[in-house]
Structure 1
């Protein structure tokens, strides 16, 4: 087999070139080629310096993910990099595109680094529940200092080449179209030096022993909430601490131990599962990959409220013009004002420049007339969640918008097939369920109607990626994937408080599990009056009574919790008394309820609903359900999503837990798929 690595001579400089599309991943053949190339350069007296660069669109962008889970093949990356670093001749990395993970570890093992200004450098392994396992945790602190290394490694966010130059990670910037020439010239210059200190031998950027503990204590305190629950950030911190306090060889041992612990742990398995699940979710099983897409050059949005404005921002920021329609001018003015404010916030936080924000808003036009949407290629409706209202909107769109345009509803529950029948083009209708705030949340449920055409679905899935969303295909059912699975959790939580569990205990169990908030905290945040009939004299449930008392959630200062002026919630004695009253009224005997029972009745029921969704073909695959819950509902990444977590928990354990409480859950329809897989010892993923 031809090696993906070749060598070229440029006078007295040997250039080692990798060409392993698409991202020059560091597979076994590339590692061998790099090792052989360095040995060739060292064996030839005429070679005074070595340059390592890549063909194609990027420098080495990380490990070869096709090798994950397979038996290791030599040489491994650490031994390749150690050989490179030990070179008596200067080794220069020439970086373009991205030097990520193992790619940056290659560059760190070189004596010098040259990069083009557009390059990005980083160690994102923490996002897979891992740490840089080829010396990255030990070499980076020696090059950029401990504080910057903590920031880059623990959060895994890449930095630009200009910042990398400012902190000493890049030695020289090259013009975008002159990287190879600049790196070769730089290597010749460096060859004139007497010595080239190995990164592993450097101590000039490491802090004084008296400062070390304070630096780490401050970092942990400041970032406690961001990294809570995750194993990998803590392991990365331990490794960087070793770099700051131990000789390189001992620090490498710590890195290896911590890496192996993470690699074999459930959290990394979960995060690696999500990495592949996200990519898999973009695929539509029964639509050919080469299906021609419908060009989308202009988008219409119906509704300038919170959702409509947020949805519009996604397209405007991606360079796609938007026409926004409302019934009244005041609503348009209010909506565009909120969008301006959101863009100003993005500029303030450094997420975009003032020019970019202005350009985005300049792409927006507003109207009160459906005729102005005639030339749109896609129109998304984001109006009140009422079937009658939505059908009326789609009837008008059908009459005004050109043939061949896609019509989408942002409904979160309603039947997309019924909406489609309000038009003469049901094949061009689907659901695009954005999550609030729509300009921030990454998840998009793309709801495929019974008649939705393949090219329409493929176009919207491709467009989702362009606007920075993680899209998942869902079938038409009440609540689609995410909200449908939320229903049994909310139902059981509401029953459990009548049976004796406190709302704050149920919320605590969910937060300890890793969710950002529990069912009652979420209800208070959303507003208890969502879907309320609004008649304070008609009290048919606990929620009716809370709303009638003006305990409608955070916005009124009280819901299930009492809230202070900063919206901090505390348990409410009034609510406890009210729950007891409703339990008596409904003849429910209150008792002690364990955390285990709360988990079984609120989390296990979600897994069962997910299994029903798969059984009915409402999701293409179990991993799609995991993507929905991680990106849309804050399911902890380190648990991999409900279906992956159920696999780890054991499907027989899930079934046993549900059957144990069958008498308390008469509404529960047990999934035959779940029971069958449990009986056979199978998993969803």
Structure 2
């Protein structure tokens, strides 16, 4: 590719080779060569302007370490604009000489469809190819389902298109998604592959269909539909692949295009695209602030959360120093970490269990002295945390960052226990910390911009999704979750049963009902918080004692084989004893219980979630409505296909949402009021 400017074009360089002239076309649209209208127009123009005299072939490649990183999603809310990608690919296929895709980096979505429009595909070992459109509620719209199925067969195409997974070079070669992996210079390898074709074209749309065996196709379809969880695009993707083997090519391509554009206008794709942009906005490091390098991390507390945090850092290649107050506890933590590493290796999530464990060094508190960052993961007790931070203040370097993993406590108060509160922030991981993608980065009152930027950059380095929150009880996620839980408890006191609430919310799309989540986390965790807050609770506020009664009975959830559900069989089973406790407690308060329909349960709980989200936005705990959506989807099982609670609410009739919030507040009693900024928050979410 030419070294000169400008960008935002397709460079064409004619090279003389032993087989004749080869046109090297380089797509140069920084930063990722997204398939925008401008890029499509430039590519079409480059092929239209080819001088065919003495031309042996074309090599199509990309600048900047990517072939084509996918479509430009910013264009998706407008009508599709010419030139359309199918027309560009048709022009490529009509080229009278072979066209080789030379793929470095990503060739995804429309980018891989461009590669499929070439006669062959040669890639570097670092390439990633695939059709991930279903992850955005779409299907390929430029012939991807038909051309891919010609390469890999019908059953395999169903798997690849319906899962949307990215395929790395070696697997892609094995499956036939690429034709060769370059050993050395990519362009030289592509030209050598071109020479091997002897001038012959291999247009994928003209190859015969590969329908495969009926049992294999049926199994692939069944598995894809099982995993779909309501995603309309999965069914459409399966149908498109099947049409590629039963319809004339032109009709199959037209049907694929129609389905792709129809899905693009639909609510699921809009919701998923909203989350795509929301995640990028949430993770953006503040401009003009240079993060500090973090290579060694100390973790104080070797319980389940501390172990998960240690694994998360070690898996990213950082050095970890793990401290516990007791030698036996530290030994038990290291044993558990070794078991976890073995399991990760067995599941092929890591290359070597021993290498991972060797990055985690057990020791005493003084051993964190050389760490760039120390993360506290001890018990959720303010006095204990303040004492630890005061102690750490005298151990670590002056430029080290101190972070607390607290779920609820006031980080400003913790920071004031140190001499340098500007280096203190929150780093709230979700359990299990090495698995859950979300992390709340808490910007405390005195936290410096550099500390905040450093924690955001570090979170992305360990492949987490960071969202910034300010200090407030429960921050973003647990604050909203507490409102959800409180409303669910009001409902069971009024007449619903825990399993009815769970069924209603799972029917709405939640990954797991609240009471099952409650049991999974352990009822004793929320019980501790309720006891901590009891002295400041307004006696006029409505309070549901049922969870306390269960805890007093030792019913803490799965770990005690009894909570809201019975777990004697290992699975959650509705428990008659819980029904009796609920009925007796409600009767003692003079509450006349009644039945609730599923839609009424959903309305009440969603009203509580949306209202609480508006309240915390008004208090400045979250910076953007979209941040709330990101947290609830990635940390609390809110249905991705609905885009988060505020995106969902903004797309409902406004009067219905306002009425639902008013009814929720009326039914909840003292202390629950409709947020004054609700209309503004919904308007902001709708605009986004």
After TM superposition, list the pairs within 5 Å mapping 1:220-619 onto structure 2. Answer: 220-283=221-284, 287=286, 289-354=287-352, 357-368=353-364, 370-532=365-527, 541-565=545-569, 567-619=570-622
| Contact 1:626 1:641 survives alignment (8 Å) | yes
TM-score by length of 2: 0.93
SS at match of 2:378: coil
| Contact 1:230 1:638 survives alignment (8 Å) | yes
| Contact 1:430 1:446 survives alignment (8 Å) | yes
Change (3 A) 1:338 1:457: same
Q: Which moved more, 1:430-439 or 1:236-245?
A: 236-245
- Alpha-carbon distance between aligned partners in 2 of 1:87 and 1:347, rounded to the nearest angstrom: 48
Instruction: Compute the displacement of 1:160 (Å).
Output: 1.4
Aligned to 1:150: 158
* Unmatched tracts of structure 1, length 5 or more: none
Question: Equivalent of 1:24, from 18, 33, 36?
Answer: 33
Aligned to 1:52: 60
SS at match of 2:255: helix
Change (3 A) 1:376 1:595: same
Q: Which moved more, 1:96-105 or 1:254-263?
A: 254-263
Question: 1:409-454: per-residue Cα shift (whole Å, max 9, x none)?
Answer: 0000000001111111111111100000000001010111111111
Q: Which moved more, 1:53-62 or 1:615-624?
A: 53-62
Question: 1:644-676: per-residue Cα shift (whole Å, max 9, x none)?
Answer: 111112343221112134432123122111045
Equivalenced residues, count: 665
* Unmatched tracts of structure 2, length 5 or more: 1-5, 530-542
- Alpha-carbon distance between aligned partners in 1 of 2:491 and 2:193, rounded to the nearest angstrom: 70
SS at match of 1:26: coil
SS at match of 1:530: helix
- Alpha-carbon distance between aligned partners in 2 of 1:365 and 1:519, rounded to the nearest angstrom: 37
Question: 1:241-278: per-residue Cα shift (whole Å, max 9, x none)?
Answer: 11122222121122122112211111000000000000
SS at match of 2:466: strand
Change (3 A) 1:532 1:263: closer
Change (3 A) 1:531 1:139: closer
Q: Which moved more, 1:301-310 or 1:80-89?
A: 80-89
Taking only aligned residues, the RMSD between alpha carbons, in angstroms, comes to 2.1
Instruction: Compute the displacement of 1:683 (Å).
Output: 3.5
Question: 1:162-203: per-residue Cα shift (whole Å, max 9, x none)?
Answer: 21111222222212x41101111221231344xx23101212
Change (3 A) 1:372 1:215: same
Q: Which moved more, 1:584-593 or 1:252-261?
A: 252-261
| Contact 1:447 1:476 survives alignment (8 Å) | yes
Aligned to 1:129: 137
- Alpha-carbon distance between aligned partners in 1 of 2:7 and 2:331, rounded to the nearest angstrom: 63
Instruction: Compute the displacement of 1:530 (Å).
Output: 2.7
Q: Which moved more, 1:24-33 or 1:507-516?
A: 24-33
Aligned to 1:4: 9
Q: 1:74 and 2:82 equivalent?
A: yes
Q: Which moved more, 1:666-675 or 1:404-413?
A: 666-675
Q: 1:178 and 2:185 equivalent?
A: yes
Aligned to 2:636: 633
- Alpha-carbon distance between aligned partners in 2 of 1:531 and 1:644, rounded to the nearest angstrom: 28
Question: 1:446-474: per-residue Cα shift (whole Å, max 9, x none)?
Answer: 11111111111111111110011100110
| Contact 1:560 1:572 survives alignment (8 Å) | yes
Aligned to 1:623: 626
